[in-house]
Amino acid sequence: MAVNLRDSWSIRGVEVPTRIVLAPMAGVSIQAFRRQGRRFGAGLVCSEMVSAAGIEHRNERTFGYLRVAADEHPLAIQIFGSEPQAMAEAAKMVEAAGADIVDMNFGCPVRKVTKTGAGVHLMEDPALACRIVEAVTAAVGVPVTVKMRRGVANGSRACLELGPRLVTAGAAALTLHPRSAQQMYTGEADHSVTAELVDLVDVPVIASGDVTSREKALAVLEQTGAAAVMVARGAQGNPWTLREIAEGDSFSPTREEVAAELVVFIREAVRELGEQRAVGFLKKFYGWYLGHGRFPKPFKQELVQLRTTAEVVTRLYAAAPGAAPLVDRLDAELPAAEGEVLLDLPISVYGGG
């Protein structure tokens, strides 16, 4: 039976209006990215991972601090760490900041994270993983969810052993990216493993990995029986993918539309991170937005060299003069970031999942 991607579903009482979840991505999923994702059809958005250890060791190298706006909900905030008590404390802060869901990262394969016992390392220590879920669910009233990889080694099926135990420990939903940590992002996500997990647990499962089109989203939902799909790399500089997945029409944005979205994204990133950090943060987005044959290649190189975001915006308007009225229209439609909460939890400079 074909699934309607615009149907709502819920995670223990938190209603999610579509079956499309925007993935947590370290160094990407800032508030500007999440709010844009909601506008383009994501039913649930997720913050990049924030460090629970950062609460205790405030000297941790950080990229910035998490900001939550009133119009992001439903919002999952993802935390990572390996100490049940520190995770419970972080979860309380995240709940107080307005998270509708506390998500935990048990999938990050990056060594700086795994060597602290966090991320995918927890898949090799099921007892500790369950203790963390128990401590966090006891600490907060909102649903607690976990994001996993299939396991550490290629071909691992650890998620199928761990998943049901995490649900018994209190997890209200599970996300699976069915690649091994060893694979990083190579090969393909094996969603036959996702289908097996769906059969084993009685909570919603979110399927993450290689969902880049509506066709793929429908195929994964049908193959796995998952409640929703998660989109990560496919949405980088390409919110139109979310609209295509949600609505079915193939959206090829015009140059003006691309430039207008990028101008708004730049402005929001500066508001969030400050000019100095935003300049570096935004560089990768220029390639993502301007690629896909939308602008000539040298144009991206030119933008990356510029020293201020104001210069970048000026160049974008020069290259796509029709973008200015579109920015005005977006401004009129965009809700103000009112009631914003600045969370004293550091965004990690490294990440993955």
Ligand X SMILES: Cc1cc2nc3c(=O)[nH]c(=O)nc-3n(C[C@H](O)[C@H](O)[C@H](O)COP(=O)(O)O)c2cc1C
- Nearest approach in angstroms of CB 352 to ligand X is 5
Measured from the CB atom, the residue of 36 and 78 that comes closer to ligand X is 78
66 closest CA partner among 51, 85, 81: 51
Count of residues touching ligand X (by CB under 6 A): 25
Q: For the residues of 49-66, what is the DSSP string, one character each?
A: PEESHHHH-TTS-EEEEE
Q: Is 46 a catalytic residue?
A: no
Binding mask 205-244 for ligand X (x = CB under 6 A): ---xxxx-------------------xxxx----------
Could you give the CA distance from residue 24 to residue 29 in angstroms, rounded to a whole number? Answer: 6
- Asked if 157 and 148 touch (Cβ cutoff 8 Å), the reply is no
> Judged by CB under 6 A, does residue 171 bind ligand X?
no
Give me the long-range contacts of 13-16 (CB less than 8 A, separation at least 24). Answer: 13/143, 14/74, 14/100, 14/101, 14/142, 14/143, 15/74, 16/43, 16/44, 16/74, 16/228
Could you give the CA distance from residue 145 to residue 162 in angstroms, rounded to a whole number? Answer: 13
- Nearest approach in angstroms of CB 31 to ligand X is 15
Measured from the CB atom, the residue of 41 and 234 that comes closer to ligand X is 234
Residues 100-119 that bind ligand X (CB under 6 A): 105, 107-108
Binding mask 64-93 for ligand X (x = CB under 6 A): --------------x---------------
Could you give the CA distance from residue 22 to residue 46 in angstroms, rounded to a whole number? Answer: 6
- Nearest approach in angstroms of CB 284 to ligand X is 9
Active-site positions read 108
Residue numbers at the binding site for ligand X (CB under 6 A): 23-28, 48-49, 78, 105, 107-108, 147, 177, 208-211, 231-234, 351-353
